[in-house]
Structure 1
């Protein structure tokens, strides 16, 4: 939990703390006790999700030519995110 303490401390040093939802704000305040009285600004994502509705070709040279599947995960790699479950689920569909 050493890294969690550093994260809480360094986050508390920020002039403004932004989160992406009211739910995330409640989790931050519950998790980081020292931030319970801090105002958290909710900055909703403005991502154009229609961009991701279709599939397309990718030209990424790092992907081996023999790769049949590519697993992409956009999150913090933490135990609570259960990335292992996502990888196992992908494996069942291959």
Structure 2
């Protein structure tokens, strides 16, 4: 039983490190695009054009950008109210 917990903890640590690297890589480009007033759709198009993919290796969609912004703690102009309602 102890062996499983150790393996599980190692997996979680590796997963957290991968998430941190992924979010760090995307933070600056997303902040730049938000500074220009990009919304969800425009952000997804711009990230896809720059060759970025979601954590699952797929192109960004409006919804995946919304999730990304939520995970990064960022909001687009006008979307802050939408995020508060959910």
Asked which structure has the greater CA Rg, the reply is: 1
Structure with higher helix content: 2
TM normalised by structure 2 equals: 0.31
Structure with higher strand content: 1
TM normalised by structure 1 equals: 0.29
